Amino acid sequence: MPKLQKKRSSTPCLGICTTTFGDEVCKGCKRFSHEIVSWTKYSLDEREIINTRLEKFKVQILQDRFKVNDVELFSNNLDQMGINFNHSLDPLTWIFDLLRATGSQAIDLTKFGIESLQHYNPGNIKDTINKELLDLSEAHHERYFKKLN
């Protein structure tokens, strides 16, 4: 049975929402609290806009650190390991999903078709990347609400 592939409009939810604790930006998926609450009411285009924003942030953070040399190998290994990722987004963003899923365990990125451009240790870089993504999302949230006021 073929694996169901996510679309650009699929939810980025990771199942660890921190907006229930009062965060304006979820520390898991990095969406704004109002985006999480309204997700089911959004059109496919509105959902795609949010996923595109998150994709751009991830690419911005990862592009100088890693290079995906074999997209098919990477995708197949993620599927084989049961790692949840959005097939319709830039494969560079899948590195975020891989690092999140593997935690601090040692992994050989070359077996996924990934090159570490600055010889990062995957277990150590995960927290840095996650913090940078949260910082970008929070800064965007702040700019978003300044425009509204």
Token duo for residue 89: 């987004």
Using the predicted structure, report yes or no on whether residue 43 has a pLDDT greater than 50: yes
Q: What is the mean pLDDT of residues 75-101?
A: 94
- Rounded Cα gap, residues 27 and 18, in angstroms: 6
Query: Mean pLDDT lowest for which of 3-12, 51-60, 125-134?
Result: 3-12
Q: The whole model's pTM is what?
A: 0.88
76 versus 15: which is more confidently predicted? 76
Residues 6+ apart with CB under 8 A from 53: 140
Work out the pLDDT band at 65, boundaries 50, 70, 90: very high
- Rounded Cα gap, residues 75 and 95, in angstroms: 10
Work out the pLDDT band at 1, boundaries 50, 70, 90: very low
Q: How do residues 104-137 score in pLDDT, each as one tens digit?
A: 788 899 999 999 998 887 778 888 999 999 999 9
67 forms bridges with which residues in the sheet?
115
pLDDT at residue 17, rounded to an integer: 87
Domain boundaries of the chain, sorted by first residue: 55-148
Using the predicted structure, report yes or no on whether residue 148 has a pLDDT greater than 80: no
